[in-house]
Structure 1
Amino acid sequence: MNKQENTNADGTKRSLSNRHVQMIALGGTIGTGLFLGASTSITKTGPSIILVYMIIGIFFFLMMRGIGEMLYQDPSQHTFIAFITRYLGQRTGYFAGWTYWIGLICVGMAEITAIASYVQFWFPHLPAWLIQISFLVILTSVNLIAVRIFGEAEFWFAMIKIIAILSMIATGIMMLLTHFKTPTGQVSLGNITTHLSLFPNGINSFISAFPMVFFAFLGMEFIGITTAETKNPRHVLPKAINEVIYRILIFYIGALLVIMLIYPWQSLSAKQSPFVQVFSLVGLRAAAAIINFVVLTSAASSLNSMIYSSGRHFYQLASESHGRFMSHFKGISTHGVPAQGILISATLILLAPVISALPYVSNAFSLITSASSDLYLIVYSLTIIAHYRYRQSADFMPDGFLMPAYKVFDPMLIVFFIVIYISLFFDSSNWLPATMGILWCVIFGFFSSRERSTVPTVPVANDKLL
């Protein structure tokens, strides 16, 4: 493939190889929610947490099949938000685009705040703001140089996470086969099956585990965002998405099973990473430092992806806008990246150290981040409605990467997202962010409906409402 064929019409470059995309897909599936949050979710529901991960994993896989089908039909799109605009109208796309972009910025701010705390594990006297600015400058530069450099960075970030999980699984299997004894008893299947109960801490704890696990999966959709800058996207994309289900089984279900084989789930400490607890048992004194390094790379990976994704989303917003201000962000740099979109996104993420330094703001910052994460549910729902309308449109590609039984699974997905949102109200710590999410939809939704920088979308042939 020559240089011209590697360049899109808008100037962006198809520099990501199959190796990059597969590892970005793996990295997007595995987040700090597993490394740090698994203990909390296990202590909530015990072994039934496996069922929660399996249910949510299946629905995420179905959502990715829907997104993948649309991107397969038109791999030139930088974000799946473009399909919301195309099939649900400019103003709905405007609402979804800004909502998703703001969510990315808030998550990026949370990640950069977490990075500072991880680095301070080794350098407690180093100012948090200096750490945050340093990491942001480095990762923004990585994104500005070339998409291939971003892909290479994500490849190695993902590799570190994968090695850590596979090492823990191998350690657990070794402990099981050698009948290893821990201070809490022998490593065995009995640690899972003894007094097995679906609701060991009550049905409310079981239900409240769903949003916790759901948000651990956020970021999986980044696989699709790389499509426009991937070599041979119609070859790479189906493989990357189809393998999502295996990644969930190995890296989430496998890791959780091993953790509970080693520890009776009632003995796990919710305040410490389960990985630290497992490696400490086999005498690895540096377990805490090693896992701190892993979660640091995981947070850096997430921040790197947030910068990449938010830059592309802002570029998409600019491309779809007819406002004078947004016209400044429609350009692609000589390196083939939307530099202005990346820079404005990174600048807003840079507000994190400023906000964190303000008195009494930590809870508000956490609240805003939680509320923005809740809004992903709204955007995901709109994406699935867009997929349904795509299947009813003249654009539909019958020989493409088809989502199976879309007339059944698309409505099921929307109901699932609604149920997850309702489940937020079963946990007192989530009801306020969930309420803020609803208020955002009402207020910004009204503003979006009156936004004049958008124009009516040309009706899609054969459109039918869901």
Structure 2
Amino acid sequence: MNAQPTTTKAETSASGPGPQTGQGGLQAGLKNRHLSMIAIAGVIGAGLFVGSGSGIAAAGPGILLSYALVGMLVVFVMRMLGEMAAADPASGSFSAYADRALGRWAGFSIGWLYWFFWVVVLAVEATAGASILAGWIPAVPQWAWALIVMVVLTGTNLISVGSFGEFEFWFAGIKVVAIAAFIVLGGLAVFGLLPGDADSASVGNLTSHGGFLPHGPGGILTGVLLVVFSFMGSEIVTLAAGESPNPRRAVTKATNSVIWRVAVFYLGSIFVVLCLVPWNSDALIKKGSYVAALDAVGIPHAGQIMNVIVLTAVLSCLNSGLYTASRMAFSLGQRGDAPRAFARTNHRGVPQAAILMSVLFGFVAVFFNYKWPETVFAFLVNSSGAVALFVWLVICFTQLRMRGIVLREAPDKLVVRMWLFPYLTWATIGMISFVLVYMLTDPDAREQLVLSLLVAALVVGISLVRDRIAKGRNEDAPTRP
């Protein structure tokens, strides 16, 4: 029998006048402005700032089509997730829905895989942030900076969900303002309204260096593999909505705004980069795409400015990653798929044990990164690399089943609907499956996919064994007269 998602007190009182707390419930401490900023900046990771250069080098200006294709996938997946989350806000989001629609094995497996993904991200981002801080203050060793960053953000998550929301509001706000300013300044430079090298700032850069697709159509697919993982995190708002005063309204608003967020922040900023700097410029790799673009505009100290922005993006990712991992652990604990201690909250409505366990594994991963970066840590990173695509697939299959469940049980809650259901859902499944198969053609991506599949098979196997053992116990239990 499939486990039913447990409703927290915060969720049942979603329309109440203020935050609610309870022994077993989260606190509705996230304000509307917190969720709005989390929704706006949830898709903006440090990878956009530091990793887009390699994508541009691989696909040329055609990288815009790569971002557009992946962005379209994200829009469709978020629409499906928004449909389910608006109908039934839950702390475990897609994991809780998979539990109900596909079976307990599915909720268990995708929940733990998602948790694993984010605790590895904690280590990656902590190391990235520490390298920037160590460059500014070299007297403090890099490992110490990683420790300091992790401890500070753990503290913000332990204090209250409101403190997490406040930190994320300002971190995300800086990212949004930075990209908006970049697009405006870059746009002015492209049209000759700012001083700079007139030859390097032109829309003509999109076609004048080997054409729009200098590596052929295959470059678009290669670019997809390089940019797809920078979109991970857009689903965080559906987990956070359960700790807001009005979860349904928050999810609906976030789902409806995802199209312009992808269009402006990804396509808009990459378009400006390609117009300011030729795609085959060495500066895109050596300096990073955004630093090279700022240099072309003539902004002094562009490298240091971008380091500040990247550090902000890293801290934002760390903050939201710890929050996301802990809430997924909380949901797993509620459903009996993790230790029950994970589902307990303190008097501030914070799942303390879930947070501490998540950050503990994050610390262990940081240690592996410093001790065995090329072996153990490389395995952790690669074995979690394709989890984003697995999550999106599970969301698609879950929505196929959940639509019927919601229509049967509470049709009035279907306030967000996936377009052209079920055809667009199946088309999205096909696109994600194609990307997974195409990963086998790239050596680096192939290793990520194979290791991720092995870890996924292990987790699914554990889930099936647990279910079989539990079923056997129930059958052996004596029946009371």
Give the aligned partner of residue 133 of structure 2: 119
Give the aligned partner of residue 381 of structure 1: 393
Question: Residues 277 and 296 of structure 2 are in contact (CA less than 8 Å); yes or no, is this contact kept in structure 1?
Answer: no
Give the aligned partner of residue 169 of structure 2: 155
> Normalising by the residue count of structure 2, what TM-score does the alignment of the two structures yield?
0.88
Report matched runs for 1:67-86 at 5 Å. 67-86=81-100
Aligned mate of 2:328, from 313, 329, 347: 313
- Tell me how far 1:50 sits from its aligned partner: 1.0
User: In the alignment, residue 368 of structure 1 is paired with which amino acid?
Assistant: L
User: In the alignment, residue 288 of structure 1 is paired with which amino acid?
Assistant: G
Question: Residues 211 and 420 of structure 1 are in contact (CA less than 8 Å); yes or no, is this contact kept in structure 2?
Answer: yes
Aligned mate of 1:333, from 346, 349, 360: 346
User: In the alignment, residue 381 of structure 1 is paired with which amino acid?
Assistant: L
Provide Cα deviations, 1:389-426, integer angstroms capped at 9, x if missing partner.
01122345354211122211211121122112122223
Q: Does residue 1:217 correspond to 2:231, yes or no?
A: yes
- Tell me how far 1:341 sits from its aligned partner: 0.3
User: For the structure 1 residues 75 and 450, does the alpha-carbon distance in structure 2 shift closer, same or farther, using more than 3 Å as the test?
Assistant: same
User: For the structure 1 residues 454 and 261, does the alpha-carbon distance in structure 2 shift closer, same or farther, using more than 3 Å as the test?
Assistant: farther
User: For the structure 1 residues 239 and 338, does the alpha-carbon distance in structure 2 shift closer, same or farther, using more than 3 Å as the test?
Assistant: same
Question: Residues 320 and 454 of structure 1 are in contact (CA less than 8 Å); yes or no, is this contact kept in structure 2?
Answer: no
Report matched runs for 1:117-266 at 5 Å. 117-178=131-192, 185-194=199-208, 197=211, 199-266=213-280
User: For the structure 1 residues 455 and 17, does the alpha-carbon distance in structure 2 shift closer, same or farther, using more than 3 Å as the test?
Assistant: farther
Q: Does residue 1:31 correspond to 2:40, yes or no?
A: no
Give the aligned partner of residue 45 of structure 1: 59
Give the aligned partner of residue 427 of structure 2: 412
Structure 1 CA distance for aligned equivalents of residues 16 and 410 of structure 2: 30
Question: Residues 200 and 278 of structure 2 are in contact (CA less than 8 Å); yes or no, is this contact kept in structure 1?
Answer: no
- Tell me how far 1:144 sits from its aligned partner: 0.9
Provide Cα deviations, 1:103-126, integer angstroms capped at 9, x if missing partner.
111111111111111112212342
User: For the structure 1 residues 168 and 103, does the alpha-carbon distance in structure 2 shift closer, same or farther, using more than 3 Å as the test?
Assistant: same
Q: Does residue 1:441 correspond to 2:456, yes or no?
A: yes
Q: Does residue 1:95 correspond to 2:112, yes or no?
A: no
Q: Which runs of 5+ in 2 are unaligned?
A: 1-13, 472-481
Structure 2 CA distance for aligned equivalents of residues 147 and 379 of structure 1: 25
Give the aligned partner of residue 378 of structure 2: 366
User: In the alignment, residue 201 of structure 1 is paired with which amino acid?
Assistant: H
Structure 2 CA distance for aligned equivalents of residues 349 and 256 of structure 1: 32
- Tell me how far 1:89 sits from its aligned partner: 1.0
User: For the structure 1 residues 198 and 176, does the alpha-carbon distance in structure 2 shift closer, same or farther, using more than 3 Å as the test?
Assistant: closer
Structure 2 CA distance for aligned equivalents of residues 424 and 252 of structure 1: 22
The alignment partner of 1:269 has SS state of helix
Question: Residues 69 and 401 of structure 1 are in contact (CA less than 8 Å); yes or no, is this contact kept in structure 2?
Answer: yes
Structure 2 CA distance for aligned equivalents of residues 264 and 286 of structure 1: 21
Structure 1 CA distance for aligned equivalents of residues 32 and 367 of structure 2: 39
Out of 241-250 and 267-276, give the one that drifted further. Answer: 267-276
Provide Cα deviations, 1:158-193, integer angstroms capped at 9, x if missing partner.
111112111211211221232667568242211113
Structure 1 CA distance for aligned equivalents of residues 141 and 234 of structure 2: 32
Structure 2 CA distance for aligned equivalents of residues 133 and 403 of structure 1: 43
Structure 2 CA distance for aligned equivalents of residues 65 and 171 of structure 1: 32
Out of 428-437 and 305-314, give the one that drifted further. Answer: 428-437
Provide Cα deviations, 1:179-234, integer angstroms capped at 9, x if missing partner.
66756824221111335645412444332211211101011111111110112222
Q: Does residue 1:353 correspond to 2:373, yes or no?
A: no
Question: Residues 321 and 454 of structure 1 are in contact (CA less than 8 Å); yes or no, is this contact kept in structure 2?
Answer: no
Structure 1 CA distance for aligned equivalents of residues 162 and 393 of structure 2: 31
Structure 2 CA distance for aligned equivalents of residues 396 and 454 of structure 1: 34
Question: Residues 27 and 157 of structure 1 are in contact (CA less than 8 Å); yes or no, is this contact kept in structure 2?
Answer: no
Question: Residues 71 and 77 of structure 1 are in contact (CA less than 8 Å); yes or no, is this contact kept in structure 2?
Answer: no
User: In the alignment, residue 302 of structure 2 is paired with which amino acid?
Assistant: A
- Tell me how far 1:3 sits from its aligned partner: 7.4
Q: Which runs of 5+ in 1 are unaligned?
A: 457-466
User: For the structure 1 residues 428 and 303, does the alpha-carbon distance in structure 2 shift closer, same or farther, using more than 3 Å as the test?
Assistant: same
Provide Cα deviations, 1:22-47, integer angstroms capped at 9, x if missing partner.
11112211111211112111111111
Q: Does residue 1:54 correspond to 2:52, yes or no?
A: no
The alignment partner of 1:373 has SS state of coil
Question: Residues 16 and 230 of structure 1 are in contact (CA less than 8 Å); yes or no, is this contact kept in structure 2?
Answer: yes
- Tell me how far 1:358 sits from its aligned partner: 1.5
RMSD over aligned Cα atoms: 2.3
- Tell me how far 1:363 sits from its aligned partner: 5.0
User: For the structure 1 residues 327 and 235, does the alpha-carbon distance in structure 2 shift closer, same or farther, using more than 3 Å as the test?
Assistant: closer
> What percent of counterpart residues are identical?
30
Q: Does residue 1:7 correspond to 2:20, yes or no?
A: yes
Structure 1 CA distance for aligned equivalents of residues 313 and 469 of structure 2: 37
